[in-house]
Amino acid sequence: MRLLYTTSDEKLRWTEDLIGEKIPPYAILSHTWKEEQEVTFADLKDLDNAVDINTQSKEGYQKLRFCAQQAKRDGLEHFWVDTCCIDKANNTELSEAINSMFRWYQNARRCYVFLSDVENHALEGDGESAFRKSRWFNRGWTLQELLAPKSVEFFSKEGERLGDKETLKQTIHEITGIPIGALSGSKLSEFDVAERFSWAENRQTTREEDGAYCLLGIFGIYMSLIYGEGKDNAIKRLQRKVQEASEDIAGASVNNTKTRSRSQEVRLGKICSWLSAPDPSTNYHKAHKQRQVETGVWLLESAKLKKWKESAASRLWLYGIPGCGKTILSSTIIENLLQHCHDDISIVTAYFYFDFNDTQKQDPELMLRSLLCQLLQRSVIIPKGVDALFSSCENGQRQPLMHTLLEVTQQTVQDFTQVYVVLDALDECTQRLELMDVLETVARWELNNLHLLMTSRKERDIESSLENYVKEEDTVCLQRNVVDQDIQRYVQQRLSDNKGLAKWNKDAAIRQEIETALMRGARGMYVYSPSYLQS
């Protein structure tokens, strides 16, 4: 890694090529390039002589001086700028730099984002739109430059500090769609592969292959650069590398047990087809999209949910009136659990949404089949009990009985260190009595590694059944006062985001009146707040 610094007489100088512990604290610049206006390595190759006038006249030189001066103000002698600190004529150096880039940004003490298309006071009044529209948010390489460093500060083209990643995280989330957690320093491995790929979907790069190469650090992948292979081929190579890395992690996480063989994969596919389980992920994604950022945090941080996650053989029942947001809260909990389980294949989350609008999601047996399929998808090998049941049913020619499904599900649960099960809307099951019997059977297993969370309306038959194995202190009533907090966040965000409603934002009194009226109209029912806003 080659760094720049300024001498006492303000001249630029290079360090030697630095490795490991020899690298001093440094600042790093993030910016967008402008053709023919950037200072290159060749421009600064001979720093023993004064920088020539043509180089000093480039717009990029002003960014260079800005970075040097800001670093000095922050007590940092050294700094790094991609346009001139890499000799791009040297293919070996370029390849090493691109594969190291994420780490270089991650290790920087400060990252300065220079927004050449944003003026001073951009976050005041109507000027915020310029910040939101900055091309910096649409470039491929700036994705890792946003996520890798701990400290990211934004500056206007005049050098005025506009804010930092932490104070602007809500705005950045709205611009990019990147989750708050990722912006706040959560491990990127906590977010699934498809989601991380989606963060770069609408970003552009000058060279098409960079659409893949700019994601190397996001996935912790190292691979050779082949300019000319095209974006599609580069993406395919990256996907293969990501898949290989995932398999390595999976193999190492369960005492280095090998991943499923090809024949096991084929047999598992046949077993899951035989079970004919409905897919609850459609309900999950639908509810997740309706969730407003920061809603449901009160529950995630509650003592009851933490106790449920950590206690042996735990159960938790969330209940409330129709429309109070139980399903959206379920999606919030499921998202949290999926992230918790992501890096450890011995921990699994399975879930099911009962749904009046889908006949495939009203049956307790189909619920059990779905949960079993989800467990099987996370199993390193097909459990012997499941394999034997499939064989005994003539390899899928006959359907299993309910009690045998329960038996193999119990056995499969015991193959994991922890199993979290979330069942939403018990009241929407049309075979309520059978469902209560199934849940009571599961509770009688008394498996220390099984954690069961259920949501429903507070209906007498459900309550009387659950009280046999769910203690009073393990229930959460979704009362109006807690639900209203989430509704208020939703209303406030919609008033800010919706162009048709934005005209009311300037008058605080009118905005408050609108919020109050909408809150009163919703009457503690989350499902009604979008309807009132639309009307």
Q: Which residue has the higher pLDDT, 462 or 480?
A: 462
3-state secondary structure of 81: coil
Check: CB of residue 282 under 8 Å from CB of residue 351.
no
Looking at 311-325, 349-363, 437-451, which range is the least confident one? 311-325
pLDDT band at residue 485 using 50, 70 and 90 as cut-offs: low
* Residues ≥6 apart with Cβ < 8 Å to 409: 368, 371, 372, 375
Q: Which residue has the higher pLDDT, 270 or 55?
A: 270
Among 349, 373, 295, CA closest to 327: 295
In whole angstroms, what is the distance from residue 330 CA to residue 351 CA?
Answer: 9
Domain ranges of the chain: 4-186, 189-253, 278-477, 482-534
| Residue recorded with tokens 């997740």 | 288
Long-range CB pairs of 14-21 (<8 Å, 24+ gap) are 14/44, 14/47, 15/78
- Residue 416 pLDDT: 92
CA dihedral 367, 371, 373, 377 (to 10 degrees): 160
Model pLDDT for residues 370-385, shown as the tens digit of each residue:
999 999 998 888 998 9
Angular region, 177: left φ>0, alpha ψ -120 to 50, beta rest = left
pLDDT band at residue 492 using 50, 70 and 90 as cut-offs: low
Mean pLDDT over 208-226 rounds to 91
- Residue 466 pLDDT: 97
In whole angstroms, what is the distance from residue 410 CA to residue 404 CA?
Answer: 10
pLDDT at 75 over 90: yes
Mean pLDDT over 234-245 rounds to 87
- Residue 53 pLDDT: 79
CA angle 329, 335, 336 (to 5 degrees): 90
- Residue 501 pLDDT: 57
CATH code for the structural domain at 278-477: 3.40.50.300
In whole angstroms, what is the distance from residue 439 CA to residue 315 CA?
Answer: 11
User: With the C-alpha atoms ordered 170, 132, 122, 182, is the resulting torsion angle positive or negative?
Assistant: positive
pLDDT at 320 over 70: yes
Average pLDDT of every residue of the chain = 86
